[in-house]
Amino acid sequence: MEHLKRHPLWGWFLEKDDWGGKYEVGKKIAEGGQAEIFEGSIMYSNGDCNEMAFKVFKRGFLVQDLQKQWPLAMFKRPVVGTICGPITDIILFDDGRFGFVMWKYWGDLRQLIDLENQEKQNQEPPFQHPLKIMLTFSKNMANLHKDDILHRGLKAANILILRTDREETEYVCRVADYECSVGVLRTTFWRAPEILLATKDRMLAAKNGNSSMPAISFAKAADVYSFGMVCYEVLTGLLPFESEGLLPTQEGYDLVIRGLRPTLPDDVELWMKKLITSCWHQDQSQRPEFHEIIRILKHTESCEF
């Protein structure tokens, strides 16, 4: 254990035995190939209690194994106010297993959008102040990119939501499941056209018996494209290309590769349309970086409020 504590990037998780409270692991609520998810809590000495979630890796899975799957930057000590993911601690069990401790979130942004759509009967946009939500997860993404971490699968369903106690309409957003597609390809309409094209080429090569093609190269600009799609979800309440009736088939992906994009409603302000369409630019070198996106969103938010 001591050599793990000395690791330069993720050893900080193991520097101390507790975080000023006592963990209680409750019932299992989900299970995947590598780990099980439990609900639980942390009880502090002053009587305060927070709901938590525990991702407990199965027996035989080692902390060192994560190094093979995730970039080391994902284990850097978080800075207060800039944590992009839900991991707050690592706990070790007597049977040799280890687990991640995470805040228990209300749900994800897609669930919230669907709930708002239902309450408004799909007659108006889901959020009164979409800029606040967009600004929050754009900051999350900027922090990931600052550490050279790519998300590779950004969409509303991968953004966790925590409602604040101050106002029911205020939310804290946290981007989750980043680097989720390392070694795994999922073709969706959130994917940038260059990724859809590379995926198509690999599928054709495999069909022709060529299995030696290099891995698909993701760039930060692909995350920016996906960010634009999440903004579309937030503004309209729709999934990408839902209003166009486009199906997730190769024919549909080919249209995206050739330049098709979702239609933004007429009531979306011109500056917002320009920002989102720049995120969707066919030439990835022409897409903005997240620090530029944040500057635009901050400037507009200050003008509105």
Q: How confident is the model at residue 241 (pLDDT cuts 50, 70, 90)?
A: very high
Out of 3.30.200.20, 3.50.50.60, 2.40.50.660, 3.40.50.300, the CATH code matching 2-103 is 3.30.200.20
Task: Specify whether the CB–CB gap between 198 and 213 falls below 8 A.
Answer: no
* Helix ranges (DSSP H) in 6-102: 66-69
DSSP output for 223-246: HHHHHHHHHHHHHHSPPTTTTTT-
User: In this predicted structure, what is the pLDDT of residue 19?
Assistant: 55
In the predicted structure, residue 61 carries a pLDDT above the cut 80: no
User: Who has greater pLDDT, 301 or 123?
Assistant: 123
User: In this predicted structure, what is the pLDDT of residue 276?
Assistant: 98
Q: Which amino acid is at 81?
A: G
Has this prediction a pTM greater than 0.85? no
**CA-closest candidate to residue 161, choices 200, 106, 204:** 106
The domain limits of the chain are 2-103, 107-304
Q: Which amino acid is at 159?
A: I
In the predicted structure, residue 81 carries a pLDDT above the cut 50: no
In the predicted structure, residue 62 carries a pLDDT above the cut 70: no
What pLDDT digit, counting tens, does each position of 154-206 carry? 999 989 887 655 454 567 778 876 655 444 456 689 999 999 999 998 888 88
In the predicted structure, residue 14 carries a pLDDT above the cut 60: no
- Give just the sign of the alpha carbon dihedral 62, 68, 73, 74: negative
Out of 3.40.630.30, 3.40.190.10, 1.20.5.510, 1.10.510.10, the CATH code matching 107-304 is 1.10.510.10
Q: At a CB cut-off of 8 Å and minimum separation 6, what does 301 contact?
A: 131, 132, 135
- Strand ranges (DSSP E) for 84-204? 87-92, 98-103, 107-108, 159-163, 171-175
Q: Nearest 5°: CA angle at 266, between 226 and 272?
A: 45
User: In this predicted structure, what is the pLDDT of residue 83?
Assistant: 36
User: In this predicted structure, what is the pLDDT of residue 78?
Assistant: 46
Task: Specify whether the CB–CB gap between 35 and 61 falls below 8 A.
Answer: yes
Mean pLDDT of the chain: 81
